[in-house]
Structure 1
């Protein structure tokens, strides 16, 4: 259950991301917002400060609080990402997410092939097998996320793991949207492609790990964009 600060923050964040308050617009006055949320001025100010720290708004004397351009927003912030998925992700957002994953996770897989421990290699194989046993999109998403976390950990680079953690919410939502669990053939293909990554890392084959990871990310994006193009709603559950 959210406290008052979190509730105000969430509702304003969703409203900004959703376009109720477009980029460049001025937020309602403090008086209007206080009446809307029925909270103290302290609670409202703390929520606005948090939004400002995330790069979403800027207060200016005699002008008001302006919504900043989306290019200023901290998209690695878990709240900002959550608000995007709350309002319904579009293909452009999923493409951008896939591109940043390719930029980071492909090299992470290569490093994992060079640095993984025996225990990490075994864990990756086991997780890949476990993906085939998932019964729901959420279970598949959890297993998929665990696999990519383990790759980041096995890379031995703490920055890789940190980046992975920063986009955890977005990855979870994207995995859920693109889950192949409803199609046995797609499930088998996804398990096989993750097994390819795991085997390459186990064998210490950095180049094969790169190729396999890029293929997995590209296939995941293709599934998600196809689902959205068909007009099927994105699943919003957090895995």
Structure 2
């Protein structure tokens, strides 16, 4: 779990990004409770060492994500979780940073199951030969024996984002940030290393998706994608339980 307070981390984040990240994480993790009123502009600007203009822009960003609402003469108040935009990549990333449970992971998988299998069926209907060749290269690249857990995760992410593109539905691509945040969060809970059997299993499951797309088999592509998501969810929950039992 994140520590309390606001620790400034060096890096390439802009002042705006730093304020958004740290306040967003503090809200999502519960360090600010629903209904809490944030400190005034002057205090927060001093805390983050930013101008009041930067602070106000950061607050507008958090408001757009549904986390806070500003009221004249009252201040900026934390909104209930029901108002948060969970399709926003930042909000989802902050959830994983704060720590997630099995229920949350199941909810994420349910959303992926609602979107990605249908995207795979659309790709079977619409993808160009070039799209299919590109996805196959990405799937085959997952079988590289030199993969670490981290590089395998990156290859997996590249594949899923490319498939959303291949559906030729701009709305599917627009939810790419959700899929990306979900996968990145999932990868944080998996082993930093990847053994040969795991690499082969992941690669073959993704190759099967592309093979079904190449056959223009919409139902086959849908089923293959569902399999990948369900198996990944089961493995993730087992990893989470193992971490909880060893913690």
| TM-score grouping bracket, smaller chain normalisation | 0.7 to 0.9
Could you tell me how far apart the structure 2 residues matched to 1:48 and 1:35 are? 15
Could you tell me how far apart the structure 2 residues matched to 1:33 and 1:180 are? 37
Quote the offset at 1:175 in angstroms. Answer: 3.9
Moved over 6 A (4+): none
Matches within 5 A, 1:56-135: 56-133=67-144, 134-135=146-147
Could you tell me how far apart the structure 2 residues matched to 1:112 and 1:215 are? 17
Quote the offset at 1:215 in angstroms. Answer: 0.7
Contact conserved, 1:177 with 1:224, CA < 8 A, in 2?
yes
Could you give the per-residue CA deviations for residues 57-76 of structure 1, whole angstroms, max 9, x where no partner exists?
A: 01223433210011111122
Among residues 1, 5, 13, which one is paired with 1:2 in the alignment?
13
SS in 2 for 1:113: helix
SS in 1 for 2:76: strand
1:36 aligns with 2:28: no
Quote the offset at 1:38 in angstroms. Answer: 3.2
Among residues 59, 62, 67, which one is paired with 1:48 in the alignment?
59
Q: What RMSD over aligned residues (CA atoms) do the two structures have, in Å?
A: 2.2
Quote the offset at 1:179 in angstroms. Answer: 6.3
Taking a change above 3 Å as real, the CA distance of residues 35 and 92 of structure 1, as seen in their structure-2 partners, is: same
Q: How many residues align?
A: 233
Could you tell me how far apart the structure 1 residues matched to 2:192 and 2:229 are? 13
Could you tell me how far apart the structure 1 residues matched to 2:166 and 2:44 are? 47
Contact conserved, 1:115 with 1:155, CA < 8 A, in 2?
yes
Quote the offset at 1:212 in angstroms. Answer: 0.8
Contact conserved, 2:164 with 2:173, CA < 8 A, in 1?
yes
1:214 aligns with 2:226: yes
Could you tell me how far apart the structure 2 residues matched to 1:111 and 1:153 are? 10
**More displaced stretch, 25-34 vs 119-128:** 25-34
Taking a change above 3 Å as real, the CA distance of residues 129 and 179 of structure 1, as seen in their structure-2 partners, is: farther
SS in 2 for 1:84: helix
Could you tell me how far apart the structure 1 residues matched to 2:187 and 2:237 are? 12
Could you tell me how far apart the structure 2 residues matched to 1:219 and 1:179 are? 16
Structure 1 unaligned residues grouped into runs of 5+: 234-239
Q: TM-score, normalized by length of structure 1?
A: 0.88
Matches within 5 A, 1:180-199: 182-199=194-211
Could you give the per-residue CA deviations for residues 131-185 of structure 1, whole angstroms, max 9, x where no partner exists?
A: 0115212211121112112221221212112212443233233245346953332
Structure 2 unaligned residues grouped into runs of 5+: 1-11
Contact conserved, 2:28 with 2:98, CA < 8 A, in 1?
yes
Q: TM-score, normalized by length of structure 2?
A: 0.85
